[in-house]
Structure 1
Amino acid sequence: MQVTETLNEGLKRGYTITVPASDLEAKVSQKLVEAQPDIEMKGFRKGKVPMALLKKQFGQRLMGESMQEAIDGAMGEHFEKSGERPAMQPKVEMANEDWKDGDDVVVSLSYEALPDVPEVDFSDVKIEKLTVEPAEADVQEALEGLAKNAQTFETKKGKAAKGDQVVFDFLGKVDGEPFEGGAAEDYPLVLGSNSFIPGFEDQLIGVKAGEEKAVEVSFPEDYQAEHLAGKAAVFDCTVKQVKKPADAKIDDEMAKQFGAESLEALKGQIKERLGAEYAGAARQVVKRQLLDQLDGLVTFDLPPSLVEAEANQVAHQLWHEENPDVQGHDHPEITPTEEHKSLAARRVRLGLLLAELGQKEKVEVTDAEMTQAIMTQARQYPGQEREFFEFIQKNQQAQQQLRAPLFEDKVIDLILDRAKVTDKAVTKEELQAEVEKLEEL
């Protein structure tokens, strides 16, 4: 097997790989010898089929396998010896398209190599980390927001209106006969919540406590209980209480609605949550500071194909952000601008730098970290968590999309450990202003 260099310009590489016909013939013969003991053919005992007949029957298929194995082996050996890593999938083409049995196989191999990334002294990197301590006013503001969302009701006099809560007993009948699941006592129903059959709640508007009312409705044609679908029903209702919405009091009882044992415990949870939110926002600012400095510290050649692919992705993403009504890809061709290309070059450069550092420092994303990331994502699909897990397990690209940011964050932490990081206490408003600057860039 012979490998001849044909191109070496910058990061572009080209090679011709020649696999002698004798090597291919030997591979095919070896495969036939290994398979012969297990082959049965009409007119011959198992393992006694003549080699010439086997070659005629299976030779072409085995020749194709042998060619692919030989080329893959040559490529693997080349990358191992050279130490080069292709930026994207190498391009492999047959050079002698008129190849026939008995000819040498000649293929052309071309790719862009990943560049050598220079060492960086991170001790010169200076980062200002913004810190915000949740204020009592912030906690109180959050409590007031929770109070507005904690729907409570207080007894009212007079008729029930839309938005009021009616507490009542009811018994449903179809064709004069009660049906399973059609009765309840002291049921609290908010009028206008659309939690009952269409038309049911509207008929309770105007009722008073102590009043009895027969509500006549029809079950929808697509009702989940097939024996009731499309049928007319009468619900005999006895109204016990009519209540109007009331603002929740900020006390222990309200805290219990949100799973806390007391108001003080709820305040502690809110303070912890706010602290985590502020820390997350501050992390974004720190990360941008760090990446901006790294971008100015390193310079090396970039694989044009990576930059081009990233520029196309940037342009496509920004176009969809400017045209949110277009969900699919049925739109005019999007041509990257110089601004897109500049941003793409920055992303590729920083991505290669972080990847190289992570590889040298043996940074790994653990199975536990991946599982946690998958669980976090799965919560966005309530009721479909199992399907999401199965999708991730079967999709390597989806796994990489989850793994990549975890890997990057671990490398960022590694750099921050070596950089000079100082804390700066700021207000919530000052932190928010810094975050908004990130969105403008």
Structure 2
Amino acid sequence: MQVSVEATGGLERRMTVDIPEEQISREVDKRLQQMARTTRIKGFRPGKVPMKVIKTRYGDQVRQEVLGEVVQSSFYEAVGQENLRPAGHPRVEPKEGDENQEGFAYTATFEVMPEIEPAPVEGVEVDKVTSEVTDADVEKMLETLRKQNADWVKVDREAGDGDRVVIDFKGTIDGEPFEGGEGENVPVTIDSGRMIPGFEEGLKGAKAGEERTLDLTFPDDYGYKEVAGKPAQFQVKIHAVEQPNLPEIDDEFAKRFGVESAEALKKEVRDNMERELEQTLKARVKQQVMDKLVELNDVEIPKALIENESQALLEQMRQNMQVPQGKQGPDLSPSMFEEQAAKRVTLGLILAEIIKRNELKAEPEQVRAAVEKIAASYEKPEEVRSWYFGDQRRLGEVESAVLEDRVVDWFLEQAKVTEESKGFDELMNPQQQ
């Protein structure tokens, strides 16, 4: 087998492979002989069909089958011989040549994986936020739970902060109604921040039976683009003003959350807050590290890998949307995900090279600890543990996450880390600050 490789630009390679006729003929003859033992042809006894007849009837068909298999096996043999790492499937075409030429020749066009030399990270600046859950944070969370589980009692007075008003409203833009701009018997808690700016403020001081007109403007970044940034007028009728009747934090209240006592509830609330805080802090610094790695390393990416990743992201979105069978889902295209796919592929290649060069491994105890952390947030952690350890694919996802954490640790050991302390609320609820 003769092999020649030509670089046609960037990561693309064109490889020409010549397979000697002897190799092809030997395999064809072998298969025809096997066929002769069992082939039934009218006029001949089983196993007695002359080879000449077998070749005439089945020779071309068998040769094409052999060529298909030889091309596949020879391609991987050839790329190994030339120390090439293909990215994606090759485009194979028979090589044009002399009709009398013996053997078979083809060209395979494909992209190769890039050679990556990770950039040094010594001294790269990283901001690391630190925080802790205080007793005051726990008390504030418990107060939030009280408000979420409050009973609402009608009152005959003006509405104020923390009260709830039950309203009908009709919104118009330039005198015309718009989608989602109307509601009946809608409960609105004043100062909850759930309505557009000015709506809740405009209900302060209102009493049951009153009607009000609110002239407001939708935020520029409002999710419904058709009304974003536009002025609107709302006609509001107030049916009732209600105040919250907050439950006491006692054992009876704790049982609503599946725990036996108020003290157990406080402990569970703190544990959940600390777990959520740890995940948030870890995610923030990890995102910084990943962004820095992409920024520092200019990597040429095979188009085939971007196309494959774009298709995978498209399929993932379709699954997440759960379009009912028989229904027409939104018109989606892999091209919509190319930018995201390129970044993910780039990062994956960089991480793989760093892991290989530094011999980073996901040790069994680290994987088990990661699974334990995941399971701890569920009501039945033992079932979650079994779910992960019972499926190698799921466990592989945890191992990949552990390896990424090892890369983050490797990066931070060499980077210039600046720590900044923030309060729990400032970090977890920045929109309320």
What's the TM-score once normalised by structure 1's chain length? 0.56
CA contact (8 A) 1:150 1:254 kept: no
Aligned to 1:428: 424
SS in 2 for 1:87: strand
Once the two structures are TM-superposed, the CA of residue 117 in structure 1 deviates from its matched residue by 0.5
Residue 358 of structure 1 is aligned with which of 339, 355, 360?
355
Q: Aligned partner of 2:267: which letter?
A: G
Shift of 1:38: 6.8
Per-residue CA deviation, residues 338-357 of structure 1 (Å, 9 max, x unaligned), is: xx977665544333211222
Cα distance per residue 1:173-221 (max 9 Å; x no partner):
xxxxxxxxxxxxxxxxxxxxxxxxxxxxxxxxxxxxxxxxxxxxxxxxx
Distance 2:262 2:419 in 1: 32
Q: Identity of aligned pairs, percent?
A: 28
Indicate the residue corresponding to 2:261 in structure 1.
262
Map of 1:93 onto structure 2: 93
Q: 1:365-420: per-residue Cα shift (whole Å, max 9, x none)?
A: 799969x98xx89x99xxxx9xxx9xx989x9x99988866654554445445545
- Secondary structure of 2:89's partner? coil
Residues 1:285 and 1:333: Cα distance change in structure 2 (over 3 Å): closer
Aligned mates of 1:49, 1:414 — CA distance in 2: 70
Task: Give runs of aligned pairs for residues 254-293 of structure 1, distance below 5 A.
Answer: 254-293=253-292
Whether the aligned pair in 1 keeps the contact of 2:137 and 2:424 (CA below 8 Å) is no
Alignment match, 1:39: 38
Q: Which residue of 2 aligns with 1:15?
A: 15
Q: 1 CA distance for matches of 2:262 and 2:74?
A: 70
Which residue number in structure 1 is paired with residue 346 of structure 2?
Answer: 349
Q: What amino acid sits opposite 2:293 in the alignment?
A: L
Q: Note the residue ranges of structure 1 that are not aligned, 5 or more in a row.
A: 154-244, 437-441
- Counterpart of 2:64 in 1: which secondary structure? helix
Asked if 1 retains the 8 angstrom alpha-carbon contact of 2:309 and 2:341, the reply is yes
Q: Aligned runs of 1:144-163 on 2, under 5 Å?
A: 144-148=143-147
Counterpart of 2:355 in structure 1: which amino acid?
G
Where does residue 78 of structure 1 map in the other structure? 78
Q: CA deviation at 1:40?
A: 5.9
Partner residue in 2 for 1:134: 133
- Assess if the C-alpha contact under 8 Å between 1:126 and 1:421 holds in 2: yes
Change (3 A) 1:296 1:400: same
Deviation at 1:316, TM superposition (A): 12
Deviations 1:312-333 (A, max 9, x none): 9999999xx9xx9xx9665487
Distance 1:28 1:316, change over 3 A: closer
- Checking the alignment, whether the CA contact within 8 Å between 2:314 and 2:333 is kept in structure 1 is no
1:105 correspondence with 2:101: no
Which AA in structure 1 matches 2:22? S
In 2, the alpha carbon distance for the partners of 1:94 and 1:435 equals 62
Deviation at 1:263, TM superposition (A): 1.9
Q: Distance in 1 between matches of 2:273 and 2:247?
A: 22
3-state SS, counterpart of residue 286 of structure 1 = helix
The count of aligned residue pairs is: 325
Using a 3 Å threshold, how does the CA distance of structure 1 residues 260 and 66 change in structure 2: closer, same or farther? Answer: same
CA distance in 2, matches of 1:116, 1:296: 17
Unaligned runs of 5+ in 2: 153-243
1:330 and 1:296 map into 2 onto residues whose CA distance is 33
2:241 matched to which residue of 1?
none
Deviation at 1:13, TM superposition (A): 0.8
Name the amino acid aligned to 1:426: K
- Give the letter for the 2:107 counterpart: S
Q: Tell whether the 8 Å contact from 1:28 to 1:63 is kept in structure 2 after alignment.
A: yes
Whether the 8 Å CA contact 2:129–2:420 is kept in 1: the answer is yes
Offset from partner CA, 1:9-61 (integer Å, 9 cap, x none) = 3312112222233321111223345x469736475456x65544544555444
What's 1:167 paired with? none
Deviates more, 1:17-26 or 1:404-413: 404-413
Residues 118 and 353, structure 2, Cα contact 8 Å, conserved in 1: no
| Residue in 1 that maps onto 2:212 | none
User: Offset of 1:119 from its aligned partner?
Assistant: 3.6
* CA deviation after TM superposition for structure 1 residue 77, in Å: 1.8
1:294 positional shift: 1.9
In structure 2, how many angstroms separate the alpha carbons of the residues matched to 1:311 and 1:45? 55
Which whole-Å CA distance do the structure 1 matches of 2:71 and 2:334 have between them?
37
SS in 1 for 2:355: helix
Contact 1:129–1:422 (Cα < 8 Å) also in 2: yes
Q: Is the 8 A contact 2:254 2:261 kept in 1?
A: yes
Cα separation, partners in 2 of 1:424 and 1:87, compared to 1, 3 Å = same
Q: Is the 8 A contact 1:19 1:106 kept in 2?
A: yes
- Please give the alpha-carbon distance, in whole angstroms, between the structure 2 residues aligned to 1:18 and 1:111: 17
Residues 14, 111 of structure 1: 8 Å contact kept: yes
* Cα RMSD, aligned residues only: 5.3
Compute the displacement of 1:104 (Å): 3.3
Change (3 A) 1:429 1:38: farther
User: Given that residues 37 and 46 in structure 2 are in contact (C-alpha distance below 8 angstroms), is that contact kept between their aligned partners in structure 1?
Assistant: no
Q: TM-score, normalised by structure 2?
A: 0.57
Q: Is the 8 A contact 2:24 2:66 kept in 1?
A: yes
Letter of the 2:88 partner, please give it: M
Counterpart residue identity of residue 104, structure 2: V
SS for the counterpart of 1:133 is: coil
Partner of 1:230: none
**Range moving further from structure 2, 68-77 or 91-100:** 91-100
Contact kept? 1:4, 1:17, Cα under 8 Å:
yes
Measured after TM superposition, the shift of residue 116 of structure 1 is: 0.8
The answer (yes or no) to whether the contact 2:94–2:105 under 8 Å persists in 1 is yes
Alpha-carbon shift at residue 307 of structure 1 (Å): 5.3
